[in-house]
Amino acid sequence: MDASRTRSLTRGAPLAALTCAAVLLASCSEPAPSAKKDTAATRAVLPAAAEDLQNRYQKVIKEVLPSVVQIQASHDLGSGVVFDGQGHIVTNAHVVGQEKTFKVTTANSEEPLGARLVFSYPDQDLAVIKLDRVPPGLRPAVFADSGKVAVGQIVLAMGSPLGLSSSVTQGIVSATGRTVSEGDTGGGTGATIPNMVQTSAAINPGNSGGALVDLDGRVIGIPTLAAADPVLGGNAAPGIGFAIPASMVRTVAEQIIRSGKVTDSGRAALGITARTVVDAAYHPAGAAVVTVSPGGPADKAGLRPGDVITGLDGDEVTTTTSLAETLAEAAPGQRKRLTYLRDDHEQSAEVTLGEQ
């Protein structure tokens, strides 16, 4: 507030006090007519805005929920999203596990439909299954451009949490571009996934493979996992969930449908297998190379089994997970400086990353 505005308000104070007194003398039971009118207008505007938002929620749910299905494997339950009119459904790899056939319940089917696995790609935790027959009214979802997803967007998570089909939760996009590593226990794939969408919408067991949707009715991601809080005994941390971005989902699903497999992952690789090693104090100290693929990037850079990778292009590597996260943020064909220990002596080499 500037000085002239402050002075103006100060000079007007006695007049305002006198006017107030006059109103009080005239009537203490009714507000001034202009104030009454303004209050009524405010009351009318606020419920209208809330009602508009509620109507928009309901419109999106009505449009998108028919594209979200429940997937039943022999021991696990998850969700999926109808990808096209031919009965292809995209879901998480950890939902299908090692299964080949499934029971699928759509929004319009009275009985579960049979489906079979087309291909599972655990490295990105994505899979495609196909219905044995396409039921009437099957509605493919519309997938958004992940590059246009913005923090603060209102989103709805749709799926079958805890087996409760056609459930919807609400939140916002909390962050984008997260690189997240899954566990490899309890059915997890152990994948490290880049560019994930973080959301405050509740994600519970059974939501995996469902739809994270914007208010235009477009799928912006596939809910995949919730953050675990060690303080809570490894239980899910409320309000922190992650979804695989729609653009990646579409890229992988289209390759699987076209070729029966992923032909171009777009993900960088060194061409090794590795394990985490610890130092004398039992602290993680690097990723020890176990095997080297002949002719692969690491082989061409001179790495061999027994070397311990400690850094990649300036990023510290202390575990196989940190190595995977660093690679997830890189692209095939990039040149990186690799630092490693061989016989307790630090060495470095230039490596041209391959493709996973």
**330 contacts 269 by C-beta, under 8 angstroms:** no
User: Is 208 considered catalytic here?
Assistant: yes
Choose, from 123, 125, 214, 307, the residue flagged as catalytic.
125
**292 contacts 298 by C-beta, under 8 angstroms:** yes
User: Is 348 considered catalytic here?
Assistant: no
The rounded Cα 324 to chain-centroid distance in angstroms is: 18
Rounded Cα–Cα distance for residues 154 and 175 (Å): 12
Choose, from 160, 167, 174, 208, the residue flagged as catalytic.
208
User: Is 125 considered catalytic here?
Assistant: yes
Element (H, E) at 7: helix 3-26
* Structure tokens, 166: 């056609």
Rounded Cα–Cα distance for residues 181 and 92 (Å): 14
* Structure tokens, 311: 């850094």
**203 contacts 212 by C-beta, under 8 angstroms:** no
Rounded Cα–Cα distance for residues 346 and 343 (Å): 8
- Can you name the residues that pair with 348 across neighbouring β-strands? 339
Choose, from 67, 79, 88, 94, the residue flagged as catalytic.
94
Rounded Cα–Cα distance for residues 67 and 84 (Å): 10
Closest CA to 220 of 166, 265, 169, 158: 158
Active site residues: 94, 125, 208
